[in-house]
Chains A and B, each alone.
Chain A
Amino acid sequence: MTVRKNQAQLTADEKRRFVNALLALKRNGRYDTFVTTHNAFIMSDTDNGDRVGHRSPSFLPWHRRFLIQFEQALQSVDRSVALPYWDWTADRTTASSLWAADFLGGTGRARDGQVMDGPFAASSGGWAVNVRVDGRTFLRRALGAGGRQLPTRADVESVLAMSTYDAPPWNSASDGFRNHLEGWRGVNLHNRVHVWVGGQMATGVSPNDPVFWLHHAFIDKLWADWQRRHPDSAYLPTAGTPNVVDLRESMRPWTDVTPADMLDHRPHYTYDTAA
């Protein structure tokens, strides 16, 4: 059974295996197909048109399915690997072990944002940025640039307290849990973390940075935490909503998965915390 752990609790061996599985997927080309898919949805999901992966109720089930697929790819390399999550309310500085050279490597240098240490630095030779929006082929970051701050636990609690899953108009203007978690409105959780990391993480090709998966694994866990806190609340909308994925409609790019299929994570993985 897959158990997703807090990245701060991983052993040296778990970190090594996770990194090696990422590098193997990069080498065989599968990694970049995930970047391509993500960017395609980033560019096509619009507030007034069809929207599936982002700025819509299906943001959470879509990314849950996307992460499951990626985790399965990692496990095709090493069956022991599970996606870790990054609790950015707790590990909120550049001094976190997350950014050490034995894991994801640190921030980018001032001149061009290039990450200079760790397994994903361009100098390591194993992490070319191929699916890109500009000419630069090296991983970039600007952790906390401009004095930006990651969300606090109090910010997270204020969003977990929202009892309504989502609300019309079911997009970036919505009230409710989903849009506050996504960050287009209010204290801003998910979007703010992308911006705090900077580099490719701030772009449509954000999965080029492996921290994408750890960030989204924590967003996914917050959805599970919200469900436990609000057992009488459920995914919305349930039917008949133009341009939006209703509870039992299938989600592109898959043809066989609906939000209803993704509500319970436990058939796929559990968390290291009581869940």
Chain B
Amino acid sequence: MSGITRRRALGAAAGAAAGLAAAGAAHAAIRTTDPRPQHAPGGATAVPGSFDEVYQGRRIQGHPTHHGGHGGGRHGGHDAGYTVRVDGEELHVMRNADGTWISVVNHYEPRATPRALARAAVTELQGAALVPLALG
């Protein structure tokens, strides 16, 4: 009954990443990208600091991610350099070139900070649980 879940979607993502790996150096460069600040054209600078709060009854947390065992491989192909959790489940996030942020539940509407992104996700979820991100 569960059908195709996010887990299998991520399996496909890993497959896509494997195809990319075959392409060689480009993928290796992504996997080893330094998660520290990237200076984007729009003037984006530092990775934001950590946060931990209860918002609309749900615990949201965020912190910069340091590489080495976490990040790209587990997420299907890239490392945002930052991890956001809602009630302990990881929310897939991505940083745009101008320093704004999007998540998999608000993919087409950038927010200024990971905290704003986490709050937007809580609003969107209306109490629903995130589907676990972890592979395997």
Contacts and interface: CB of A to CB of B under 8 A. Distances in A.
- Chains A and B belong together in one complex: yes
Interface of A: 29, 32-33, 35-37, 39-44, 46-50, 112-113, 128, 130-136, 169, 171-173, 183-184, 190-192, 194-195, 202-206, 242-243, 252-253
Contacts of B129: 134-135
B120 to A, nearest CB: 10
Contacts of B126: 112-113
A134 B131 contact: yes
B108 A172 contact: no
B64 to A, nearest CB: 16
A194 B20 CA distance: 28
Contacts of B131: 132-135
Contacts of B3: 32, 128, 130-131
A46 B108 contact: no
Interface string B6-31: 10111011011101100100110110
A189 B104 CA distance: 19
Contacts of B5: 130-132
A52 to B, nearest CB: 9
Contact of A47 (B27, B97, B105): B97
Contact of A46 (B2, B8, B30, B41): B30
30 contacts: A32-B4, A33-B4, A36-B12, A37-B12, A39-B12, A40-B15, A40-B16, A43-B92, A44-B20, A44-B76, A44-B77, A46-B77, A46-B94, A49-B78, A50-B30, A131-B4, A132-B6, A133-B6, A133-B104, A133-B130, A134-B131, A135-B130, A169-B41, A173-B41, A190-B108, A202-B106, A202-B124, A204-B104, A205-B9, A253-B16
Q: Which of B16, B38, B92 has the most CB of A within 10 A?
A: B16
Q: Lowest 6 A-B CB distances belong to which pairs?
A: A44-B77, A130-B3, A40-B13, A173-B97, A49-B30, A191-B108
Contacts of A171: 97
B56 interface: no
Contacts of B130: 133-135
B45 interface: no
A208 B111 CA distance: 24
Contact of B16 (A33, A191, A252): A252
A243 B26 contact: yes
A169 B2 CA distance: 41
